[in-house]
Amino acid sequence: MGRLFGTDGVRGVANADLTAEMALGLSVAAAHVLAEAGTFEGHRPTAVVGRDPRASGEFLEAAVVAGLASAGVDVLRVGVLPTPAVAFLTGELGADLGVMLSASHNAMPDNGIKFFARGGHKLADELEDRIESVYEEHRTGAPWDRPTGAGVGRVREYEEGFDRYVAHLLRALPNRLDGLKVVLDEAHGAAARVSPEAFQRAGAEVVTIGAEPDGLNINDGCGSTHLDKIKAAVVEHGAHLGIAHDGDADRCLAVDHTGEEVDGDQILAVLALAMREASTLRSETVVATVMSNLGFKLAMEREGIRLVQTAVGDRYVLEEMKEHGFALGGEQSGHVIILDHATTGDGTLTGLLLAARVAKSGRPLRELASVMERLPQVLINVRDVDKSRVTTSAELSAAVADAERELGATGRVLLRSSGTEPLVRVMVEAADIEQARSVAGRLADVVKSALG
């Protein structure tokens, strides 16, 4: 059996790969593992459980809640809220763990389970491995030690979570958004209520699209993975900018007033300069992954800001930030972590801070984002291949070496397995877009033949 936990929890097609039985079993296993680790020592444990609006989240939430309560954990159900809200509430309420049911930007049939440790931080790899091991052991027959009577967990709705999270977002703002007109694309996802509420309370005039989740339409032609609608809406409404979330709102991308995309690298660049100006960019350092555009690296060098790069995945960005006390990090995809205010990527917070910079500076987002020039970058997702062999295929290694020789110092190549989907990503940067496309296409063909 392959590892259940990817870079962002356990994901799969709901009711096929990710079943109610698995959700229940993993929840019980998590409770036992955290109890063994001493997390629950000396008190009655509590968990915060939230979800995005997917239809499958309803039965998976029921399974998770049942599993936790059966293991003696009291449960606070916060309902449909963004992933970062569940992380925040886990820390704010002093809970022993948090559980979020979401598959983020994936299509509606998928779902996922993400666990947060006390304080709202992602679980360490070794704890995830232990949960998986304990789950497997009991799935194949070993009985659980179950509490009875008053020892079972109690379950209650925690409706105050919405207002506490919105208030937290507003406390993080350095200035109000009065005078700004903002289009928000909520991806029919977890931020459909929270994000418009926060922007409106901050003083912005808000136009919403993709804010009517019905359980089936999450990420469907909208949100941060489909920007055409928000680009058109920003121009149509004469807005200053647009903010597009993914399904669980742990990320955002932006659109300037002309309808042009502003990606995660550009957002990081804008926020890095704003935070340095406010003396909150600790060590004048920003953390990003190896997927960041070369133009971002060059811009940070020019501005005198140090860039630390990590493996792909927001968890690795976060680990680097926590270890060295850095304040800002993120990914090109729009996962941005502002560690003074969040323990994970928070798309609503990122959007608010970006809008606050526009409001305070009086400069259009387009001008602010021009601090960096995006070098042409081509990304091809190659599906239905054995992604586990990316680093061991001699044929693929030779093809990458050839490509790197061709590009020289003006570009780069990156191949990586997706942590959340069954595919290999081929990324090529070059000064010329046609060369990037040509090299990426050839490499994608080799990935298919070598790993197919």
**Where in the sequence numbering do the catalytic residues fall?**
104
- Quote the CA–CA distance of 197 and 28 in Å, as a whole number: 35
Task: Please name the residue that has the structure tokens 């916060």.
Answer: 78
Q: Is-contact 34 45, C-beta < 8 A?
A: yes
Provide CB contacts within 8 A for 344, sequence distance 6+: 83, 84, 87, 116, 120, 121, 122, 250, 314, 318, 337
> How far, CA to CA in Å, does 213 sit from each of 54, 315, 347, 357?
8, 28, 18, 30
Binding positions for Mg(2+): 104, 246, 248, 250
Number of H helices, E strands in the chain: 14, 19
Residue 427 carries which DSSP code? E
Binding residues: 104, 246, 248, 250
Mapped onto helix, strand or coil, the DSSP state of residue 423 is strand
Ramachandran angles phi, psi of 432, nearest 5°:
-115, 130
Q: Which residue in the block uniquely carries the two structure tokens 């140090």?
A: 306
Provide the token pair at 273: 């300069």
CA torsion angle 289 291 293 299 (round to 10): 10
| CA pair distance 251, 243, nearest whole angstrom | 10
